[in-house]
Amino acid sequence: MQLGTDIQRAKSLLQRGELVGIPTETVYGLAANAFDGNAVAKIYEIKNRPQFNPLIIHTNSIQKLAGWGIHLPAQALLLAKHFSPGPLTYVVEKSALIPDIVTAGHDSVAVRIPNHSLTLELLALLDFPLAAPSANPSGYISPTTAQHVFEQLGSKLPYILDGGACNIGLESTIISFISDMPKLLRAGGLPVEDIEQVLGSAIDKTSLINNENPLSPGMTSKHYSPTKKLVIGLVQDYLDTYKPNEIAAIHYAEADAYLPLQNQFILSPEHNLNRAAQHLFAAMRVADKLDVKLIVADNFPQNGLGFAINDRLKRAATT
């Protein structure tokens, strides 16, 4: 069986330099031993991922990171007390143990403690961290179920740990601690407001796009994209060009009167941004499989996880 919950099997495969699909609270990851450059190279090959795009390494404790020579500065440690395990990634100075292929040659490394019981149990059994980007072809919509991983990468993976649907549904928020002021590199599953409240100060939000030399994943302008054209706006603005049955819509809370109901995806009828984030990527995948020519997505409120939802949609809509 290629999908399951056999942690010992996953451990054995990873120790042998193989790749395993793993669940997290954010999205499913494509995991390899982060200390094994040959294993990490398989991630780039299977995903068709550009070599300049670095990876996040995952473990289950700050103490393990320190043992590997990876130290979180004071502000990162403060955030870790509040948010780790959880959807927050810290970019800090790298250790000599981390191969350059993991960091795309940078002197920094992105680290995270995920908050999923199955993967935390696996990580506790390992004496190495896991490099794990999202388990999908590079640039496509991130997977939020084991079935999503199986559909696209199943023929290339010996095993996928099935931990159910991801309960956050967006990748982690990434903060760099390389300079004096913490810098947001990727909006994600932890709202920026929550981070700033704990720090007691604002963080730099001016570095969210980098197509040539990104310090972390998720910084390229085109990302998370369906194969169908996606735009952000109002359905009625596209009815002069497309027939109603040629359009799918991703709405925040309410259906529109213009399209067939089966072509509309309501992420949260109760106007809950957390729920909307949880369902966003799954809705995009289903919409992409419909016999339509265009996907129209709402603009979401810019507060809370709405900021990250809009970030994903803008990158998905980039041509």
What is the domain-level CATH number for residue 25?
A: 3.90.870.10
Same domain, 79 and 142: yes
pLDDT in the model for residue 210:
66
Same domain, 242 and 194: no
Same domain, 242 and 180: no
pLDDT in the model for residue 214:
66
> What residue ranges of the chain have pLDDT lower than 70?
1, 209-212, 214-223, 318-319
Q: What is the pLDDT of residues 28-79, one digit of tens each?
A: 999 999 999 999 999 999 999 999 899 999 999 999 999 999 999 999 999 9
Same domain, 97 and 193: yes
Domain count, the chain: 2
pLDDT in the model for residue 1:
59
Same domain, 119 and 248: no
Angle at 280 between CA 224 and CA 89, to 5 degrees: 65
HSE (side-chain half, CA atoms, 13 Å) at 79: 30
Same domain, 245 and 191: no
Rounded Cα–Cα distance for residues 315 and 96 (Å): 33
Same domain, 193 and 123: yes
3-state secondary structure 9-46: HHHHHHHCCCCEEECCCCCCEEEEECCCHHHHHHHHHH
Residues 6+ apart with CB under 8 A from 200: none
Tokens of 227: 């194969």
